[in-house]
């Protein structure tokens, strides 16, 4: 298909006029002014590529990243170590440039990689079937909620307040056009309010959504939540950190019907927020309702092991009214990344990452709790993330920490207004004892 690219000023004016705009600047008014670059780029005109590259490299070194600073950032994106083999293999051209494997006879490598990814996700979650990935954790939750609505023919969703607010917003956005009503379950001590859930009438509720570890890092009592739901026919959707599943009971063991989450922790770089990987795994009863692509194993006409796409339920493949989703693609390269990462670490390695992250997080929390003016909010049932109450506003602390080489965490107030002195701190296996102790010593200077 010919792609039209406007290459003259008149062409650009015509296109803007079609949009009812007079200038290119008017096209950008939706971008918040606070994040718009002002002025001219500090790049000289008429210099060589070599000189430009040197200048850009110098500019990049002046920025802040997890290479220049010790990171305690979390809230859905985590600074885990990524083995070199992950980037090396995913950069191979047959993977890096692979297209949708419509033709199984020429796509066996891609299809097998997706199949192995699905198998590993099923092993982590304990579920019967996984799709070949979704866009990210938030969209995976949204799709899971719509699956629950289709299955139960109910249009109410109860979602815990402790679920990542960004996930909740995305799920609510997906549900608007389908008249899905979201109601919030309040939290007590950074966990779902079980008494409130027990008192709810769930007879017309499609699903209860709970995240564990939740946004604050606290582990939810999923078994108790399932028990509180009784025999209502309501589905239980859990949002899980896949690294934590190497250490904890699987969602299936705890009674979940659908498990979703963000796969960034499985070998993907933080990359300024994306692209990421959404995983979804379900019980076999929902096999024909799960959205996205599913890869199945079979044999060819010579009896050899082979792989194909199966149960394709998107609207491009079946009648629109029967489609479970209009998702047209997946995160195949990121799913491959997760597959290589899990294969490289193995069960023992993945568990070690989970154990180290937990142990180091609890060490840091214990030490911070002893600093005058600071405290650790909530209880001790957390994985690798916890909330710190600070003697000064969290945003002020974050700014001071940045000046001495720390990405101190995430200000809770950005997600839950009214919590100006609360800081969400995440710890991964990458953090050394020296880094943790230096951060503790820095906090001791805050008053």
Q: Domains of the chain: which residue ranges?
A: 70-82+347-443, 84-341
User: Contacts from 175-184 at CB under 8 Å and sequence distance 24+?
Assistant: 175/142, 175/145, 175/146, 175/149, 178/146, 178/149, 179/155, 180/145, 180/146, 180/149, 180/155, 180/156, 180/206, 181/155, 181/156, 181/157, 182/157, 183/156, 183/157, 183/158, 183/159, 184/158, 184/159, 184/160
> What distance in Å separates the CA atoms of residue 26 and residue 393, rounded to the nearest whole number?
36
Q: pLDDT digits over 176-232, tens only?
A: 988 899 999 998 888 999 999 999 999 999 999 999 999 999 999 999 999 999 999
239-286 pLDDT tens trace: 999 999 999 999 999 999 999 999 999 999 999 888 999 999 999 999
Q: What angle do CA 169, 173, 175 make, to 5 degrees?
A: 120
Per-residue pLDDT, 296 = 93
Say which residues have a Cβ less than 8 Å from residue 329's Cβ, sequence separation at least 6. 100
Q: Write down the residue that tokens 């209860």 correspond to.
A: 208
**pLDDT for position 345:** 97
Residues 6+ apart with CB under 8 A from 290: 129, 131, 147, 280, 282, 311, 313, 324
Q: What's the pLDDT at 366? A: 97
d(CA 169, CA 167): 5
Q: Which CATH architecture has domain 84-341?
A: 3-Layer(aba) Sandwich (3.40)
Half-sphere exposure of 217 (CA within 13 A, CB side): 33
Q: What is the CA radius of gyration of the chain?
A: 24
Q: How far apart are CA 258 and CA 149, in angstroms?
A: 13
Q: Which residues of the chain have pLDDT under 70?
A: 1-8, 313-323, 326-329
Residue 121 CB contacts under 8 Å (≥ 6 apart), including other chains: 127, 130, 242, 279, 281
Which CATH code fits 70-82+347-443?
A: 3.90.1150.10
Cβ neighbour number for residue 267 with a 10 Å cutoff:
26
| Spatial separation of the C-alpha atoms in residues 382 and 74, rounded to whole Å | 13
pLDDT of residue 2: 47
């Amino acid at each position: 298909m010919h792609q039209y690219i406007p290459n003259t000023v008149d062409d650009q004016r015509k296109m803007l006029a079609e949009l009812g705009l007079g200038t290119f600047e008017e096209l950008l008014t939706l971008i918040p002014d606070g994040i718009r670059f002002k002025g001219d780029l500090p790049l000289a005109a008429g210099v060589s590529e070599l000189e430009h590259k040197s200048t850009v490299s110098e500019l990049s070194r002046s920025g802040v990243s997890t290479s220049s600073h010790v990171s305690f950032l979390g809230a859905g994106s985590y600074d885990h170590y990524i083995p070199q083999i992950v980037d090396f293999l995913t950069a191979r051209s047959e993977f890096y440039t692979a297209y949708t494997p419509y033709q199984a006879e020429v796509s066996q490598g891609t299809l097998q990689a997706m199949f192995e990814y699905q198998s590993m996700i099923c092993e982590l979650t304990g579920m019967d079937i996984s799709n070949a990935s979704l866009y990210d954790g938030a969209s995976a939750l949204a799709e899971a909620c719509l699956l629950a609505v289709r299955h139960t023919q109910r249009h109410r969703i109860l979602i815990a307040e402790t679920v990542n607010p960004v996930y909740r917003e995305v799920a609510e956005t997906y549900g608007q056009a389908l008249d899905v009503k979201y109601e919030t379950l309040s939290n007590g001590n950074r966990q779902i309010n079980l008494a409130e859930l027990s008192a709810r009438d769930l007879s017309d509720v499609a699903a209860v959504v709970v995240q564990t570890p939740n946004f604050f890092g606290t582990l939810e009592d999923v078994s108790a939540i399932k028990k509180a739901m009784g025999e209502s026919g309501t589905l239980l959707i859990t949002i899980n950190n896949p690294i934590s599943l190497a250490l904890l009971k699987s969602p299936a063991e705890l009674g979940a019907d659908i498990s979703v989450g963000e796969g960034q922790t499985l070998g993907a770089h933080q990359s300024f927020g994306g692209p990421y990987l959404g995983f979804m795994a379900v019980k076999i009863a929902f096999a024909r309702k799960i959205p996205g692509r599913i890869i199945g194993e079979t044999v060819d006409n010579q009896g050899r092991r082979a792989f194909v796409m199966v149960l394709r339920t998107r609207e491009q493949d079946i009648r629109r009214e029967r489609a479970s989703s209009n998702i047209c693609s997946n995160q195949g390269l990121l799913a491959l990344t997760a597959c290589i990462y899990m294969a490289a670490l193995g069960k023992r390695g993945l568990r070690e990452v989970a154990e180290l992250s937990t142990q180091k997080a609890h060490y840091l929390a214990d030490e911070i709790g002893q600093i005058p003016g600071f405290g650790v909010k909530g209880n001790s049932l957390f994985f690798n993330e916890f909330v710190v109450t600070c003697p000064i506003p969290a945003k002020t602390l974050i700014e001071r920490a940045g000046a001495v080489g720390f990405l101190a965490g995430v200000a809770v107030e950005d997600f839950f207004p009214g919590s100006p002195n609360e800081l969400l701190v995440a710890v991964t296996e990458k953090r050394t004892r020296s880094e943790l102790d230096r951060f503790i010593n820095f906090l001791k200077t805050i008053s």
